[in-house]
Amino acid sequence: MIDRYIHQQLRIGLVSPQQISTWSKKILPNGEIVGEVTKPYTFHYKTNKPEKDGLFCERIFGPIKSGICACGNYRVIGDQKEDPKFCEQCGVEFVDSRIRRYQMGYIKLAYPIRNEKLSSHLIQSGCPVPDMFLDYSLVEWKELEEEEPTGNEWEDRKVGRRKDFLLRRMELAKHFIRTNIEPKWMVLCLLPVLPPELRPIYHIDEDKLVTSDINEIYRRIIYRNNTLTDLLTTSIATPEELIISQEKLLQEAVDALLDNGICGQPMRDDHNRVYKSLSDVIEGKEGRVRETLLGKRVDYSGRSVIVVGPSLALHRCGLPREIAIELFQAFVIRDLIRKHLASNIGVAKSQIQKKKTDCMGNTSENSG
C-alpha cells in the first residue's frame, strides 16, 4: 500500500472528516466496522499483549506478528483458499504486520474541538463561506480605499491597519477557495490516531517502559473524552459548569497533541518535561521534514590547512588524499561495488580502511 514511488510529494493541510473516516475505518469481512479507539490502555501488564480497543489494539491496527491473530492462530497471508481472512474470535485480520505502520484509528470526540493551530486566524471572522468572506472583505477594502485621508494621524493609521488586515483575510479566503478546503474542517469531530508503529513503546527492562509522548497525550485525550461522554449521556442532572470545564480539558488535551503550548501553558509529564506534540515532531531543524526528508547528513568530513598550489589552475582546488577519500567515501564505495571489487558497503568500507592507496584511482576519477 505504501510505496515510495507513489508518494512523490507531501502536503500538510486540513482534511475532511470523510477523509479521516476512510483512513481509519476498516470493515471486517463479517461487516463489522472497526477503527474507533475507545480505551486509553496500551499493553496488558501481565500478558504483554495489546489491550482490545486500546491504543495498540490488533483488531484496529493489524497484527503485531504477520499472519498471527491475537489468540495465536496462524494463516498464510494472501492464501485464496483460506476463508475467512480474519479470526472470528478476536477479529484480527491475517495480514502483514507492516500494516501497523500506516493503518490509522480514530477517536470520536464527545464535543467538537477547534483545531487551534489553524483556526486562530479565522475565528474572528465568524463567516463560514470563503466566497462570501472574500466579497465582504473586498467591498470594505474598496470603501476604505475611496475615503479621503482625514488628516488625523491616529485615524489614518487605524484605517491603514484595517486595510492590511482585510488584505490578509482575502489572501486566506483565496487560499481556501484555491485548495478546495472548507473552513468547517477546522473543527474536529473525529480525531485521527496515528499508526502504532509511528509512536512506539519499548521495553527496556522487565518493568521499565519507554513510550512516545504522543501515546501519553492520546491517553489523556481518551480519558477526558470518555469522562465527558459519561457526563453527557449517563447522568441527566450534571451541572453545566462541570460539563464546560470537562470540555475545556478535552480541548486542552487535543491542543497539546496538535501543538503543545499553543494556548497558554504546555502540558507536562511527572518530571515537569514538556510533551512533544505532533507539530514538534514535524517542525524545526530536528523535525521529520528537515532531518530525514529534505536532506541526509553524512558522517564524512575533513579539515586541513590551506596552502597555495602553484600547479593548480584558478578554478581548481587541491585536497590532501586522505581527506579526499574520506570526503568522497560515498562515491568511492559506489565505484568499488560497481567494479565488483567489493560485494557490499561494509566490505567496501573495510577495503578503504585497509589499503587507502588502492582507492586513489577511484577518488581522482570522481573528483576530477
Minimum CB distance to Zn ion, residue 5 (Å):
34
313: Cα separation from own chain's centroid: 50
Q: Which of 223, 224, 214, 176 is nearest to 192 (CA)?
A: 214
236: buried, middle or exposed (CB in 10 Å: 19+, 13-18, 0-12)?
exposed
To which H or E segment does residue 175 belong?
helix 153-179
Taking CB under 5 A as the binding criterion, the range among 3-11, 63-71, 130-138, 325-333 that sits at the site for Zn ion is 63-71
Helices (H) and strands (E) in the chain, counts: 13, 6
By the rule CB under 5 A, 71 interacts with Zn ion: yes
Of residues 89 and 235, the one with the C-beta less far from Zn ion:
89
Write down the least CB distance from residue 102 to Zn ion, Å: 22
Of 40-48, 86-94, 303-311, 313-321, the segment contacting Zn ion by CB under 5 A is 86-94
Per CB under 5 A, 95 contacts Zn ion: no
Restricted to residues 104-163, the positions that interact with Zn ion (CB under 5 A) are none
Nearer to Zn ion by Cβ, of 90 and 198: the residue is: 90
Interface with Zn ion (CB under 5 A), residue from 22, 89, 179, 344: 89
Burial of 145 (0-12, 13-18, 19+ CB in 10 A): exposed
By beta-carbon proximity to Zn ion, the closer residue of 69 and 214 is 69
Among 90, 118, 198, 231, which residue sits at the site for Zn ion (rule: CB under 5 A)? Answer: 90
Q: Which one of the spans 67-75, 213-221, 255-263, 332-340 is the region binding Zn ion (CB under 5 A)? A: 67-75
CB of 67 to Zn ion, least distance (A): 11
Taking the alpha carbons at both ends of the chain, their separation in whole angstroms is 43
Residue from 69, 107, 170, 253 touching Zn ion (CB under 5 A): that is 69
Residue 26 bridge partners (DSSP): 34
Strand residues in 212-250 grouped as ranges (E):
none
- Nearest approach in angstroms of CB 63 to Zn ion is 9
Q: Which is nearer to Zn ion, 45 or 74 (CB)?
A: 74
29 binds Zn ion per the rule CB under 5 A: no
Nearer to Zn ion, 96 or 283 (CB): 96
Region binding Zn ion by CB under 5 A among candidate stretches 62-70, 160-168, 194-202, 287-295: 62-70
CB 71 to Zn ion: min, Å: 3
265 binds Zn ion (CB under 5 A): no
- The footprint of Zn ion on this chain (CB under 5 A) covers a number of residues equal to 5
Q: How far is the CB of 52 from Zn ion (least distance, A)?
A: 11
Would you say 89 or 343 has its CB closer to Zn ion? 89
User: How buried is 124 (Cβ within 10 angstroms: 0-12 exposed, 13-18 middle, 19+ buried)?
Assistant: exposed
**Is the bond preceding 84 in cis, omega lying within 30 degrees of 0?**
yes
- Closer by beta carbon to Zn ion, 71 or else 345: 71
Phi, psi of 215 (to 5 degrees): -60, -40
Q: Which grid cell sits at 326?
A: 574520506
Q: Which three cell numbers stand for residue 355?
A: 589499503
Taking the least distance from each CB to Zn ion, the nearer of 90 and 282 is 90
CA distance 345 to 333: 7
d(C-alpha 199, C-alpha 102), whole Å:
11
Closest CA to 55 of 217, 165, 196: 196
Note the residues at the interface with Zn ion (CB under 5 A).
Answer: 69, 71, 87, 89-90
